[in-house]
């Protein structure tokens, strides 16, 4: 009898251990390594396939998810990319194409889960960061430092065309021309940021732009519209880049196209720094009382100090102390100074206290709810003035609809410097990723009044979420403020090197 009871107890213990082992093998987490930090997101395993919470990953990398209960569809938007999933299906749409990730989308506890082994590489094909899945360490890696061939620019000169390929450091390369007006650049040890480079296809100058990535080498091939007769190349520094000059004294752009003119005098030497809010406008306030206006001013002063010390630029601040400056006045200060670059510095806020990370915005119609919310808040001082002066509804829930200013702004967004502003935003993004060890929410776009009124390349930088306790503490620290300022200054210098005298 004793033996039977003992066997039953042992059997019961074995069942419990089996259940515990089974649960632990299913319920687990996946690490997300980004910008020097590691975060955990929910995951589970099914038939040796790791499913990760795409809902949580989307929150880390930025972008917007929309749910359509009818049809069980879920969409995700980030920058110019849109993914559309159907729960229970292995097929998904990315922009205008359909792909098969072999294993179906899963829905658990209000989140969607995707198979890491078969989906991550589809993200990697279109994101500006390198995204990879390491099964041995159970880690999704987002690495902006992975690429050493980061960007490309094409511009006209008095005697022809200049092609520049931007590197993180000097690399050995070869340039050769093939039939059909193809100019080919092979870079030894090169790792291409393919989405960024392919975005530089310019139909004014070229028929086609192709990129090839192989182990140990990379190639960029450009099919130009003009016949290639005389050309030469050299490696330049600060920033490192391959320059290819194609001589053609008869070169003319198509009549409907014209080169963008950066600043009033083709020199990039007047920088306007705009510390957000000020005076009676506190901006966002953190849980421990930190005020956005104070953080923005301290970072702006650190940046101004760096710029003045280098003596390459003239720097103007829209405010250098705690005073009220309207959005219109800020734009007027920039335009009256004939500014070449305009950087507006802010700190973000959200009702969701866990939301974190920095953003870089340029002026264009907002593509997601998150960007619209940021623009709405940053435009709020201007909107309040309009409501007061024009007797519009003071109900904040109705302002967007009853006040015509936002509608006009969305429809009349200035596009003259949009491409250059986006490029500046990408440079700021890269430098912030190098300097800061917090979540990178990347580059986004929205309709900011202050940027819309400035006639120069402009960006608005949200340096972190003041509503998040950990990031509020960072935003108050002098070390973090200086790191942000250094990143912004490095981006300014790289923009100058790329665009000046084009």
What separation in angstroms does the CA of 272 have from each of 180, 473, 483? 45, 27, 19
User: Helix crossing, 327-336 with 380-390: angle to 10°?
Assistant: 110
Residue 501 has what pLDDT? 55
3-class DSSP assignment, residue 80: coil
DSSP output for 198-243? HTT--TTTEEEEEEEEETTEEEEEEEESS---EEEEEEETTTTEEE
- Residue ranges of the chain whose pLDDT lies below 70: 1-27, 35-37, 62-63, 69-71, 79-80, 128, 144-145, 248-266, 364-416, 445-452, 501-502
pTM reported for the whole predicted model: 0.49
- Class of domain 149-247 as given by CATH: mainly beta
Give CA–CA dist 232/188, Å, rounded. 19
| CA distance linking residue 371 with residue 461, whole number of Å | 12
CB 233 within 8 A of CB 244: yes
**468 contacts: CB under 8 Å, gap ≥ 6:** 350, 353, 354, 355, 356
- With left for phi above 0 and alpha for psi between -120 and 50, is residue 278 left, alpha or beta? left
CATH among 3.30.465.10, 3.40.50.620, 3.40.640.10, 3.30.457.10 for 2-143: 3.30.457.10
Give the H/E segment covering residue 188: strand 182-188
pLDDT the model gives residue 328: 83
Q: What residues contact 126, with CB distance under 8 A and at least 6 apart?
A: 81, 94, 95, 195
Residue intervals in the chain for CATH 3.40.630.40:
270-499
Cis peptide before 308 (omega within 30 of 0): no
Instruction: Enter the tokens of residue 176.
Output: 């050769």
Q: Per residue in 103-124, pLDDT tens? A: 999 998 888 999 999 999 998 8
Token couple for 37: 């930090």
Domain ranges in the chain with CATH number 2.60.40.3500: 149-247
Q: Which fold has domain 270-499?
A: Aminopeptidase (3.40.630)
Using alpha carbons, list the distances in angstroms from residue 60 to 37, 63, 247.
11, 9, 47
Nearest to 452 by CA among 491, 429, 418: 418
Q: Is 355 helix (H, G, I), strand (E, B) or coil?
A: coil
pLDDT at 393: 37
- Encode burial over 208-229: b for 16+ CB neighbours within 10 A, e otherwise: ebebeeeeebbbbebebeeebe
Spell out the alpha helix ranges (H) of 395-439.
399-402, 404-411, 418-435
CB neighbour class for 455 (10 Å; exposed up to 12, middle 13-18, buried from 19): middle
CA angle 129, 132, 134 (to 5 degrees): 150
The ranges of the chain annotated as CATH 3.30.457.10 are 2-143
């Amino acid at each position: 009898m004793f033996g039977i009871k003992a066997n039953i107890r042992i059997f019961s213990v074995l069942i419990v251990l089996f259940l515990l082992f089974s649960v632990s093998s299913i319920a687990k987490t996946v690490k997300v390594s980004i910008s020097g930090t590691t975060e955990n997101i929910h995951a589970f395993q099914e038939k040796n396939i790791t499913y990760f919470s795409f809902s949580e990953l989307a929150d880390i990398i930025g972008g917007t998810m929309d749910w359509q209960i009818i049809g069980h569809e879920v969409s995700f938007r980030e920058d110019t990319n849109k993914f559309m999933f159907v729960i229970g299906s292995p097929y998904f749409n990315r922009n205008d194409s359909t792909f098969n990730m072999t294993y179906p989308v899963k829905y658990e506890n209000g989140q969607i889960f995707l198979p890491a082994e078969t989906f991550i590489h589809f993200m990697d094909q279109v994101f500006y960061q390198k995204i990879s899945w390491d099964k041995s360490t159970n880690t999704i890696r987002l690495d902006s430092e992975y690429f050493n061939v980061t960007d490309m620019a094409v511009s006209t000169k008095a005697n022809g065309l200049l092609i520049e390929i931007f590197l993180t450091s000097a690399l050995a390369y070869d340039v050769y021309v093939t039939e059909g007006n193809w100019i080919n650049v092979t870079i030894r040890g090169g790792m291409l940021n393919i989405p960024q480079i392919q975005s530089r296809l310019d139909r004014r100058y070229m028929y086609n732009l192709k990129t090839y990535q192989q182990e140990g080498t990379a190639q960029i091939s450009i099919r130009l519209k003009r016949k290639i007769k005389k050309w030469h190349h050299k490696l330049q520094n600060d920033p490192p880049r391959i320059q290819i000059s194609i001589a053609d004294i008869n070169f003319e752009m198509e009549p409907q196209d014209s080169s963008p003119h950066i600043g009033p005098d083709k020199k990039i030497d007047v920088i306007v720094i705009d510390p957000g809010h000020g005076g009676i406008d506190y901006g966002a306030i953190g849980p421990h009382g930190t005020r956005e206006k104070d953080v923005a001013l301290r970072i702006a002063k650190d940046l101004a100090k760096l710029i003045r010390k280098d003596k390459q630029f003239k720097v103007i601040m829209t405010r250098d102390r705690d005073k009220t400056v309207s959005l219109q006045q800020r734009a007027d200060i920039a335009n009256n100074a004939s500014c070449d670059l305009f950087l507006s510095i802010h700190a973000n806020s959200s009702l969701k206290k866990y939301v974190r990370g920095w953003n870089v915005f340029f002026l264009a119609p907002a593509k997601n709810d998150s960007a619209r919310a940021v623009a709405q808040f940053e435009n709020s001082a201007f909107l309040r003035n309009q409501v007061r002066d024009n007797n519009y509804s003071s109900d904040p829930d109705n302002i967007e609809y009853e006040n015509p200013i936002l509608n006009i702004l969305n429809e009349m967004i200035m596009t003259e410097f949009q491409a250059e502003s986006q490029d500046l935003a990408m440079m700021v993004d890269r430098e912030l990723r190098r300097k800061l060890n917090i979540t990178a929410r990347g580059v986004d776009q929205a309709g900011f009044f202050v940027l819309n009124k400035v006639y120069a390349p402009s960006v608005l930088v949200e340096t972190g979420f003041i509503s998040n306790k950990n990031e509020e503490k960072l935003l108050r620290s002098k070390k973090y403020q200086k790191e942000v300022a250094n990143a912004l200054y490095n981006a300014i210098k790289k923009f100058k090197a790329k665009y000046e005298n084009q």
